Every structure is written in C-alpha cells, then in structure tokens.
Amino acid sequence: ADAYSWPGEHHIHIEGALTPELLFQLASSNGVTLPTDDHAFQSVSTLYERYQHFESLDDFLHYYYIGMSVLVTESDFEALAWDYFQHAARDGVVHAEVFFDPQAHLSRGISYETILSGFKTAQTRALEEFGITSELICCFLRHLPVPDSLAAFNIPELQASLTNGSVAGIGLDSSESGFPPLLFKDLYQQAAAFGIRRTAHAGEEGPASYIRDALDTLGVSRVDHGVALVQDRELMARVAEQGTLLTVCPWSNVFLKGVRSVSELPIREFLDAGVQFSINSDDPAYFGNHYILDNFCAVQEAFNLSVDEWRRVCEAGIRGSWCSEQRKAEML
Ligand code: ADE
Ligand code: ZN
C-alpha cells in the first residue's frame, strides 16, 4: 500500500506519557504525597520547567519513578494509556508497541491484573475509535537486583500474559551504565525457552559492546536506542546485514544529554550503512511533549531525508513490528 500511512512506534514507555497535568490530578484523587522538598513538584508549570533541564538518564529516571507512583487503580492505568492513544491518533499513528514497567508498580502493591486490565481497556478503545492497533511489551528494570526480575517473570499472571499473546514480548530498561546485558542472561534464556520475543535498551548511554552483548547473550531481535552502534563499524555492518531494527528516539537523546542536537545523531551513518531503524518518542511527556511526529520532523529538519529514505525507515519499522504477519501486510 502506501508507506506514507505509517507512523508506527516501537519505543514509547507508557509511564513516560504521564503528563504533569494527569500526574497532579491522580496524586490528588489517590491521596499520593509528592516530594515536598523539591520545588519542581509545586505545580504543573514548575514540573514542566524542571523537565527542560535533565542532566542524564538517571536524573530523568528519578522524576519518572516518582511520577508513576500516582498510578494506583485500574482506571488510572487506563487514563494514562488513553491519554497516549489520543496523542498518537493526532499524530497519525496506525500501530503502537508500548513498553510498561510492572516491577515499578508491583513493588507498590499494585497487582499485575490491575495494570494489564487498565491498558487493555484503552487498547480496545483505541482500536475502535481510531483504528490504532497496539501491542504491549513488558520491561524489566536493570537497576534492581536481578532476582527481582526473575521473581517478576515467574509471577503466574505475568508469565501467562507473555505466553498467551496478550503481551507481545519483553524488554530491559532503566539505568544503563554499570548494568550490562550479561546480568540478565538467565531471564532472557528463560524467556527464549518459552519462545517469547525479546528486545533490550542498549547503547543509549552505554557503550557499543552492550549492543553486541544484547544480541549475543540475550538473543534480542531488536535493539532500543542503539545509537552507540556508530562507535563500532564492524558491529554496525553486522547489524545492517542481520536486519536488526534499532528503535531510535531523537528528542530523548537531546533531552537526556546524549547529544547536543538531533543533528549529532548517526542517522546519516545508519542510512549509508543500511542499518534498519525506526523513529520513536520514548517518554514524550517528559521530553518537551514531543510525541512521534515531532521526532519525525526533527529528523527531517536535521537530515533532510529523501522520500525514498523515509520509505526505507517506515518499511523497516513495519517489518520489525511485533504484530501479526497479516497486520504487517496491511501496513506495508
Ligand atoms: N525508562 C523510560 N525511559 C527510558 C529510557 N530512555 N532509557 C532507559 N530506561 C527508560
Ligand atoms: Zn526507552
């Protein structure tokens, strides 16, 4: 069909779509106390202002985990996902693959069922009202002790969601430096034994060797961010050859100080080397409210891709999607 009909995304953390507006609203309705010693939490506007000055991934994650502590009930998770789908619809998104971080909610006493049911209701509504298809990807947190991720993976409801198709696969996120992929070898081997699809954040703040380890040790079929790949030309050639999809997040890399501007990203190098990549928003509510279309526009302004190059980007995204072959064929 027509590649212009695609913006699809593969790298959006649903908790990263929590706007300060919804954050304060849910804190109030759930009686959740926000930090009183941090001026940023005084109001919606002071929080937005603070989000303009993240120093690093970890500085952002500090706010990200406080933010999501306001999510308590099933309808909170539904409201969060619905807020995202409305933005996605406005940007012309036809298919979305959405990360979520169950460990960050389970640790606060929220059941997996509460989380998943809220998301499912929003997903069904997005399909009915906007025709947006979507998949969920269950992420594990690399800053927590490894046994915590194994315990979460072995929660019966969580494992069932991964084997019965209601969740499309697993990912690995949170602080990267100092938490190499190798730590999660057992988790990924267990998932592989079930035939579960696997991805991992690698090469966002961490080195190119983390990308190699994610491929070789974790057996991932795609790589989230992966911009450090440009530091290892041999590995880059291999990733191009294998056709592994990188889910690049331009505004995220700028907001978290990986690069000074989108123009510093290795987009041209990836295109020239034949690396497959898609363009994504990561945590739009924290990164200047730049949803997917703003990320496409920033890449176009910085690199002036040809129509044919955009077609390659869009087709790579569709081919790398974790949806049915039938849905892929509709989108291609
Ligand atoms: N969790 C949410 N956003 C993330 C990112 N950009 N990198 C790692 N973990 C994350
Ligand atoms: Zn991410």
> Tens of pLDDT along 54-76?
999 999 999 999 999 999 999 99
Flag whether 11 is marked binding. Answer: yes
Interval 267-286 mean pLDDT: 98
- Whether the full predicted model's pTM is greater than 0.95, yes or no, is yes
Mean pLDDT of the residues in the chain: 97
Annotated active-site residue 234? The verdict is no
For domain 3-331, the CATH architecture is Alpha-Beta Barrel (3.20)
pLDDT-derived band of residue 6, with 50, 70 and 90 as boundaries?
confident
Burial grade of 260 (CB within 10 A; 0-12, 13-18, 19 or more): exposed
Angstrom distance (rounded) from CA 188 to CA 193: 9
The region of weakest confidence among 5-9, 32-36, 168-172, 277-281 is: 5-9
pLDDT tens digits for range 298-325 = 999 999 999 999 999 999 999 999 999 9
Q: Yes or no: say if 126 and 94 are a contact pair by the CB < 8 Å rule.
A: no
291 DSSP assignment: -
pLDDT tens digits for range 216-263 = 999 999 999 999 999 999 999 999 999 999 999 999 999 999 999 999
Q: Which ligand 1 atom is at minimum distance from the Cα of 252?
A: 6
Angstrom distance (rounded) from CA 202 to CA 268: 20
Distance of CA 65 from the midpoint of ligand 1 (Å) = 11
User: What are phi and psi for residue 291, nearest 5 degrees?
Assistant: -80, -170
Angstrom distance (rounded) from CA 331 to CA 2: 8
Q: What angle do CA 227, 228, 232 make, to 5 degrees?
A: 125
pLDDT-derived band of residue 208, with 50, 70 and 90 as boundaries?
very high
> Taking 60 as the threshold, does the pLDDT of residue 1 lie above it?
no
Which residue among 55, 204, 234, 330 is the active-site one?
204
Q: Give me the pLDDT at residue 248, please.
A: 98
Q: What DSSP line would sit under 200-234, residue for residue?
A: EEESSSS-HHHHHHHHHTS--SEEEE-GGGGG-HH
Distances (CA, A) of 263 to 56, 178, 250, 297: 19, 28, 9, 12
Angstrom distance (rounded) from CA 310 to CA 296: 10
In this structure, which residue's CA is closest to atom 8 in ligand 1? 174
> Taking 50 as the threshold, does the pLDDT of residue 167 lie above it?
yes
What percent of the chain stands above pLDDT 70? 98
Q: Which of 179, 183, 287, 281 is nearest to 224 (CA)?
A: 281
Side chain identity at residue 330, one-letter code: E
Flag whether 225 is marked binding. Answer: no
Flag whether 282 is marked binding. Answer: yes
Q: Which of 52, 130, 51 is nearest to 84 (CA)?
A: 130
In this structure, which residue's CA is closest to atom 10 in ligand 1? 174
> Taking 50 as the threshold, does the pLDDT of residue 3 lie above it?
no
Angstrom distance (rounded) from CA 230 to CA 318: 23
Q: Give me the pLDDT at residue 66, please.
A: 98
Give this complex's ipTM: 0.99
Q: Which of 230, 320, 231 is nearest to 270 (CA)?
A: 230
pLDDT-derived band of residue 15, with 50, 70 and 90 as boundaries?
very high
Q: What angle do CA 124, 138, 131 make, to 5 degrees?
A: 25
Adjacent-strand bridge partners of 246: 223, 277
What percent of the chain stands above pLDDT 90? 98
Residues, beta carbon < 5 Å, ion ligand 2: 282
> Taking 80 as the threshold, does the pLDDT of residue 4 lie above it?
no
